[in-house]
Amino acid sequence: MGSTVFERQPAQTSVVAHSLAKTILAPFWTHDMPRAAAMPALVGSEKASLVIVGGGYTGLWTALLAKEREPDRRVIVLEGKTCGWAASGRNGGFVESTLTHGESNGRTRFAAEYDQLDRLGMENLDEIEATVSERKWKVDFERNGSFAVATEEYQADGLEGEADGERALYLSQAEIQKKVASPTYLAALFEPRETALVHPAKLANELMTSCLAAGVEIFEHSPVKALTAQRDGILITLASGQVHADRVALATNAFPSLLKRYQLHTVPVYDYVLMTEPLTAAQLKSIGWKGREGIADMANQFHYYRLSHDNRILFGGYDAIYHYGGRIRREYDDRPETFAKLASHFFTTFPQLEGLQFSHRWGGVIDTCSRFSAFFATAHQGRVSYAAGFTGLGVAATRFAANVMLDQLAGLTTERTQLEMVRKLPMPFPPEPATYPAIQATRSALNHADHNGGKRGLFLKTLDSVGLGFDS
């Protein structure tokens, strides 16, 4: 089996150790952005037209858009901890137009309607940009596009043929080096309008603040224990109270669905991230990157990275860790072997930054599903709607999902609700004890493909043929 550039040109152990010596185990974004005022816990009995379970991007977009549609309805958000504390405060801040985890995955799984999904995704991103502008949200929004960089010869081969001259522009090795200087880059595709960058915690806070201004009632530290269908609505039971709702939207991301029938449709996979200290002017000049684009490399086990508003570099991805039984635990946020690997890969990518230190390290769970993109479901005669499975590309797609759920709960037939993507579910994962070895085998197969010229072996081809998958 071959090696990747990160193994052929590893950083020195002393460089990695120095870079990680002063890291704080916490998401940089939430340290950088004091959150909005704390919300009370729900105590007692309440009644609402719409109750949303989950105070991340999906839940907050759903609440805000619900109020825009019907300003007089009572809307309640129930959050088990604090709004934006999980994936919405830990992600890389890539606001992608894609609703299908990229074109290749979209054309494979939704061939007949891919062009429609592509248009809807671009419209959704345009609408997010318009909302940020119109509401004057201070979220460090930058629509600078993104580079998909080839770091191995097999990735660069044929890349020029994937460019269309408008939405995807081919850059030769010399051209990409002028944009961002890394000895690992052999070629790239530049998509100038498909990607924006945002400060994740600021986005969560602005969404929360706008919800409150619109009259949404938000209760934190209010974990939901159960949903019970009744003749006149849905009873939501909490440890300290209950809410009777006409309609319910479930926005629980990687956490177990309150609808048992869908609990095997997602698995929580841990993703890990490093954030550097701010680069000096000389360090920034040494790598170029004047356009502040987002960057991802093209392997199955890929890295993603971007500049923050104060010129730090966020560098994450590669490892995707599943724990037996789908366990989500605070101690899993720290994984020294992964952070050391990421640091080594960082200095392989940018050896000219040797000596730079990382200020923050963190991990968090991604709600992975077998088709890599969000799925939708309803229950209890259409009174409950559910969206999950974003698989790491949900910053923009959560807004699209919010509109789907609101359409469904209103009983509307819309372009969104008629999509095959919305009407059909992905294959569920097998229950334990089968899930863990299956995911480990898939990770091993993806790693083998990355070390074998990208060639997918029989195991991966079999998973592809039956619609099951796993993404880094």
Give the domain CATH number at 7. Answer: 3.30.9.10
Q: Say if CB 333 and CB 13 are below 8 A apart.
A: no
Q: Given this model, what pLDDT does residue 471 score?
A: 46
User: Exposed (0-12), middle (13-18) or buried (19+): which is 122, by Cβ within 10 Å?
Assistant: middle
Q: Are residues 37 and 137 in the same domain?
A: yes
Q: Say if CB 114 and CB 107 are below 8 A apart.
A: yes
Positions of the chain with pLDDT lower than 50, given as ranges: 471-472
| Beta strand spans in 329-463 (E) | 358-368, 375-379, 384-388
Q: Are residues 4 and 73 in the same domain?
A: no
Cβ contacts of 193 within 8 Å, gap of 6 or more: 97, 122, 143, 145, 167
Q: Are residues 320 and 452 in the same domain?
A: no
Q: Are residues 134 and 158 in the same domain?
A: no
Tell me, yes or no, whether 424 lies in a domain. yes
Q: Are residues 74 and 133 in the same domain?
A: yes
Q: Given this model, what pLDDT does residue 464 score?
A: 66
Tell me, yes or no, whether 472 lies in a domain. no
Q: Are residues 122 and 174 in the same domain?
A: no
Q: Which residue has the tokens 């609700």?
A: 417
Tell me, yes or no, whether 138 lies in a domain. yes
Full residue range of the structural domain in which residue 445 is found = 435-466
Among 324, 345, 363, which residue terminates a domain?
363
Q: Are residues 399 and 326 in the same domain?
A: no
Q: Are residues 254 and 231 in the same domain?
A: yes
Q: Are residues 188 and 214 in the same domain?
A: no
Q: Say if CB 240 and CB 99 are below 8 A apart.
A: no
What's the Rg (C-alpha) of the chain?
22
The neighbour count for residue 237, using CB atoms within 10 Å, is 12
CA distance 185 to 148: 10
Q: Given this model, what pLDDT does residue 376 score?
A: 98
Count of structural domains, the chain: 3
Q: Are residues 299 and 222 in the same domain?
A: no
Q: Are residues 135 and 160 in the same domain?
A: no
